[in-house]
Structure 1
Amino acid sequence: MLTRLAVSLALTASTFFGTAALAAEDLSPLQIFVSKDSQSLVVYEGDRVIATSNVSTGRKGYATPSGIFSIMEKKKTHFSNIYDNAPMPFMQRLTWSGIALHESKDVPRYPASHGCVRMPSKFAKQLFSMTKRGYHVVISDREVTPHAVADADLFMPRMAAPAADLLSDATLRPAVEASAKIDKPVEVAMGETLPKLGAEAVAVLPKNEPPVKILIARATERQKMMDAQAMLARLGYYDGPIDGSIGTKSREAIKAYQEIHSQKPTGAMDEAFLASIHKVMNKKPLTGWLSVRRNFKPVFDMPVDIANPEVALGTHFFSAIRVNPAQNKADWFAVSIDNNINAKAMQRLGITVAADATAPRAAEDAFKRVTIPSDIRARIETMLGSGSSLTITDTGTESETGQGTDFITVTKPLPKTDG
């Protein structure tokens, strides 16, 4: 309540609350929240307000997209290549399709831009000096605030094994033959002596690598096809690439499977085919997918299981600061944002119960529905750093996520209701 009061008071001008937070910028990356409803921008460190300003977002016909973004590029001097070379000083790019934060001399307290987020000159310069590439920007239709997460069993940082070997990698190496004779017990080196309890160690990512960004979303049709291709290959029906492409080889393999299992040989990856092949392979149907990026590049991805898939996950953003692998500690903060899924998309995704972003613990409850293999959790936890993030969403990120981006999640506003 006090934080919200501070925000509302501060929005009367572009105001900074001291410089102490700036000194800790490297250890505690900032997050930027833009509200289209209140035409405001608030900078947070965790759940603590650092700075605020009025802004002007896109006018009718040029609406600023809502969603979860990150700063991909920064330029003090930039000119629009879309709108008559218009100046965009202190530009901080959010999408390659042209959305950015930037300075403007015309910042009314109502939507007026061509889609970018305009900021007053003084504030734009100050914000530019506070941010780095990779810092997150959340643009929401209504004002939202992050809250601390204490008990959702989120990823917690851990020290990597020596020489960057992860214990989880051991399952990928050839196993010791059953006939091999082992005379001595095997000792596993777990790393150097850790600081004593209570020591204030400062976490530094190995090789100063940027923090990882994590996405958990419902499996797409392409990912389901990759899963089907892998199963068909194991059963001997398919000898093509596991690429998710529904080409001639994939269709012929599905047809062959359907004929053997008394199904209409359509070659389509329909519900009956998927239910049958998962039963034959004794596997759960593919429901979720986890992907990891670092420094705007893919690192790895793999399937995960989503409990009660008929219930929408919603769209949630988690961010980590004060990450300390030596003490297995991190401070996580979360926010849930509205994301309307139309009836056709709900049917395609198998969703019968919509999400409520205003529900208590909506973000925490969504994460608890996801089962992540222990070796993958361990791998992620050795890569965590301050500024690491986790996005959970139903609808994926295909429209804007691509080469040179983090995960970009574009959301849709809820339908307006009377009253």
Structure 2
Amino acid sequence: MSATMLSPPAFAADSVPLQIIVSKDKQSLTVYEGETVVARSRISSGKAGHDTPTGIFSILEKRKYHESNIYSNAPMPFMQRITWSGIALHEGNVPNYPASHGCVRLPSGFATKLYGLTERGAHVIVTDADVVPQRIEDVVLFSPRKPLPPGTLMTDVDLRTASIKASPKKPVEVAMNVAPANPNRATDALPPQPDDLEEAQTHALRILITRRTDRETLMDAQKLLEEMGFETGGSDGYVGPLTRSAVAGFKRWKGLKQTGPMISGEFIDALYASAGQPKPPAGQIMVRQNFEPLFEAPVGIKAPEVALGTHLFTVDKIDRSIESADWHAVTLPNVLSDATMKRLGITMAADAKLPGAAKAALDRIEISQDVRDRIETLMADGTSVTINDESLGPETGKGTDFVTLTKSSKSEMVAVQDIGSTPAAEPRAKRSIIRYQGGVGLY
């Protein structure tokens, strides 16, 4: 059979978190509820020269009927987009081999049923070899908190700006440090009401744990410079004239050389010493909800010279009354280039085939209690945690969850457009296309 619905009752339930795994090797798609298979289908992925990218995605947009804006208005019924650059699940011709221009084609009957059962935000994992979710328990994983009294939704944790990039023409969106129940903090905000908390707890969180990039290092440096009286133009992680002037001024003050990298190790050491603060840890945690940034904060990574690997953890069956939940993990092969390993200070690669690789990565993560409290207060069924080494990928931007692209070999070119650490721009009907090796999808 081209498609099999193994467990219809599971689909009938409201808001059941589903996870879709596409295997390019097997040309198959499997739908999971936790570790239970509820549907299977054959598929047709990208043909040679138009390979379907591999990685961790989520459904960004759904349309019952869509036409390709790349390939002569080719029809794409029951389209479920997983990247803004042109990759989607949709109904189409499904021979017994890869035949699409990058998308994942589904048999007509299955495409219709799957469309009616998924929601925006559902995870779609695309791999070469098939992977299977496994039940996992670990003290690092978040546990749902019992309902808290009004006024404690926001903690005193020091949060960074929630905007990806500040616009000079628009106000900066800030993750506010509001704690009305704390008499030592002044605020004009009203305490969050129980109904607001319940509403927040119905939306799954998307959490990324990764290594700090140059952007995060600069964000924290800008904040410390501002606390010392320098004007940086905001702690957004982007270099502007004010930031350059502030860094140069600090270097003159401390007698540091002005030549070489602007943010050097010598500069960072002197900055934190002057501020009387320890240097931040090697990692960071970033949180989104409803495709919007919520907050981010530093986290520790033990043995940072060892690669973390690429893992996705998802939770369901949350019961706040007894503070319990079921977590499942998937580990994806992801080969880092020599240049990437050198840039990140990694001397030992991760091995996705090792038993317990996901748990081993979790056990190296150190998360502050303030950050943990906030996540455990807000987490809902379907909340997920991605762990990777490469931070934000080029497909992560406004209107997306965290998208992680993976590579099966060091020679594989995932994207020929060099975007660096700048996230993708806001999606538009007509926008530049991020081109994968051989081309893009949308049919």
Q: Does 1:337 align with 2:324?
A: no
Count of matched residue pairs: 379
Q: Distance in 2 between matches of 1:239 and 1:222?
A: 14
Gaps of 5+ in 1: 1-11, 178-190, 192-203
For the residue of structure 2 that corresponds to 1:382, the secondary structure is helix
Indicate if the aligned counterparts of 2:151 and 2:179 stay in contact, CA closer than 8 A.
no
Q: What amino acid is aligned across from residue 113 of structure 1 in structure 2?
A: S
Q: Does 1:21 align with 2:15?
A: no
Q: What amino acid is aligned across from residue 8 of structure 2 in structure 1?
A: T
Q: 2:147 aligned to 160, 185, 191, which one? A: 160
Q: Distance in 1 between matches of 2:179 and 2:64?
A: 49
Match of 2:296 in 1: 301
Larger radius of gyration: 1
CA positional deviation for 1:333: 0.3
CA positional deviation for 1:239: 4.7
Q: Between Structure 1 and Structure 2, which shows a larger proportion of helix residues?
A: 1
Match of 2:221 in 1: 228
Match of 1:188 in 2: none
| Percentage identity across paired residues of the two chains | 46
For the residue of structure 2 that corresponds to 1:326, the secondary structure is coil
Q: Does 1:263 align with 2:263?
A: no
TM-score, normalization by structure 2? 0.80
Q: Distance in 2 between matches of 1:172 and 1:78?
A: 43
Q: 1:393 aligned to 388, 391, 401, which one? A: 388
Q: Does 1:78 align with 2:66?
A: yes
TM-score, normalization by structure 1? 0.84
Q: Distance in 2 between matches of 1:288 and 1:269?
A: 18
Q: Does 1:248 align with 2:241?
A: yes
Q: Distance in 2 between matches of 1:35 and 1:295?
A: 27
Q: Distance in 2 between matches of 1:244 and 1:83?
A: 38
Q: Does 1:273 align with 2:261?
A: no
Q: Distance in 1 between matches of 2:33 and 2:201?
A: 21
CA positional deviation for 1:283: 1.3
CA positional deviation for 1:377: 0.8
CA positional deviation for 1:30: 0.8
For the residue of structure 2 that corresponds to 1:347, the secondary structure is helix
Q: Distance in 2 between matches of 1:38 and 1:276?
A: 54
Q: Distance in 2 between matches of 1:96 and 1:167?
A: 32
Runs of 4 or more off by more than 4 Å in structure 1? 169-177
Q: 1:87 aligned to 69, 75, 90, which one? A: 75
Indicate if the aligned counterparts of 1:292 and 1:298 stay in contact, CA closer than 8 A.
yes
Match of 1:200 in 2: none
For the residue of structure 2 that corresponds to 1:366, the secondary structure is helix
CA positional deviation for 1:164: 6.0
Deviations 1:280-303 (A, max 9, x none): 433134422211111111112222
Match of 1:61 in 2: 49
Q: Distance in 1 between matches of 2:109 and 2:178?
A: 54
Match of 2:400 in 1: 405
CA gap 1:272/1:208 in 2 versus in 1, 3 angstroms: closer
For the residue of structure 2 that corresponds to 1:168, the secondary structure is coil
Match of 1:356 in 2: 351
Deviations 1:398-419 (A, max 9, x none): 41112221111111222589xx
Q: 1:328 aligned to 298, 323, 330, which one? A: 323
Indicate if the aligned counterparts of 2:292 and 2:399 stay in contact, CA closer than 8 A.
yes
Greater shift, 325-334 or 163-172, is seen at: 163-172
CA gap 1:164/1:357 in 2 versus in 1, 3 angstroms: farther
Q: What amino acid is aligned across from residue 409 of structure 1 in structure 2?
A: T
CA positional deviation for 1:238: 4.3
Indicate if the aligned counterparts of 1:318 and 1:334 stay in contact, CA closer than 8 A.
yes
Q: Distance in 2 between matches of 1:108 and 1:165?
A: 55
Q: 2:105 aligned to 76, 100, 118, which one? A: 118
Over aligned residue pairs, what C-alpha RMSD do you find?
A: 2.4
Indicate if the aligned counterparts of 1:254 and 1:265 stay in contact, CA closer than 8 A.
no
For the residue of structure 2 that corresponds to 1:80, the secondary structure is coil
Indicate if the aligned counterparts of 1:310 and 1:353 stay in contact, CA closer than 8 A.
yes
Q: 1:313 aligned to 305, 308, 313, which one? A: 308
Greater shift, 138-147 or 366-375, is seen at: 366-375
Match of 1:212 in 2: 205
Q: Does 1:148 align with 2:103?
A: no
CA gap 1:162/1:84 in 2 versus in 1, 3 angstroms: same
For the residue of structure 1 that corresponds to 2:321, the secondary structure is helix
Q: Does 1:98 align with 2:86?
A: yes
Indicate if the aligned counterparts of 2:154 and 2:178 stay in contact, CA closer than 8 A.
no
Q: What amino acid is aligned across from residue 242 of structure 1 in structure 2?
A: S
Indicate if the aligned counterparts of 2:233 and 2:240 stay in contact, CA closer than 8 A.
no
Match of 2:96 in 1: 109
